[in-house]
Amino acid sequence: MVFRSLFPALVSAALGLLPGRVLAQTFSGTVVSGATQQGVPFVNIGLPRRGLGTVSDEQGRYHLTYNAAYATDTVRISSVGFRTQLLPFASLLAAPSIQFVPEEVALNEVSVTAAGAYRRTHTVGLDKPSSHLNFHMISNELGTEIGTIVHLDRRPALVQSLHVAVVKNEAGPLTFRLNLYRLDAKGVPTPEKLLAHDVFVTAQPQAGVLSVDLGSDRVVLDQDFLLALEWVKAPDGAPEADFTKRISFGGAMKAGGMQLYMRRTSQAAWIKPTFSSNVPMLGLRPALALYATVKD
């Protein structure tokens, strides 16, 4: 039962690492495709230095609360299939309608010539959560994300499906994006996504495993990665209530490299939560019940 007490400590430690913020003003804008002039849904917009960010809605509209003192900061605007934009925040404040330039997604795939190279089907990541540990998002802001490092013991691996274990959901239908991020040489998540298109799941008001089939996508990976869950949409017409304690995801204490990461909102820095325990941990770390089915 001791693990149940770890979550509040873990979250408070994570929040303690967040930068102080003075939020005074809100502005609105739209993100449209330069090719079609149609709104681009679920675009990540944020100031990485400040931990300020948001996600556009299905029509490309966004609202961002900010401090005017951050006008000289750089804002990052990104979405799969479009060229990432970096510009002074003052420029976005002056012209909040963003013309997004489409861009072909070039992924570093592994060429495997043998037709029967992928013989074993199994799961990677945490597919058996503990009944004693679960996790919540650390903020109620669009773009908040939680994820875990997934280790590939045999490479290359052909991704078949992605899964997330929902322990409870009292917040109504919530839409999340599943992201795969490349790791740098030190094993830290980079902004680079490994999927050629967005993948969404909607958590209904009950517990269970959410799954998405990627078998036809031919996603081939030859490295460990961060598998993360990002909140992008609340129920239509829902009041602005704190949902962070109303939906929770499975977890467990695991040995090895299954490092947990969190971030407060869109484009914010990733945080490795720290926590303490009154029992020896023996190399165990908290892991989130996000996992993939692969062939290798």
The length of the chain in residues reads 296
Q: What digits encode the pLDDT tens for the residues 52-72?
A: 999 999 999 999 998 889 999
Non-local CB neighbours of 249 within 8 Å, separated by 6+ positions: 134, 135, 136, 146, 164, 165, 166, 167, 229, 288, 289, 290
Q: What digits encode the pLDDT tens for the residues 164-186?
A: 999 999 988 999 999 999 999 99
Q: What digits encode the pLDDT tens for the residues 117-128?
A: 788 999 999 999
- The mean per-residue pLDDT over the stretch 265-272 comes to 95
pLDDT at 280: 62
Q: 60 with 30: CB under 8 angstroms?
A: yes
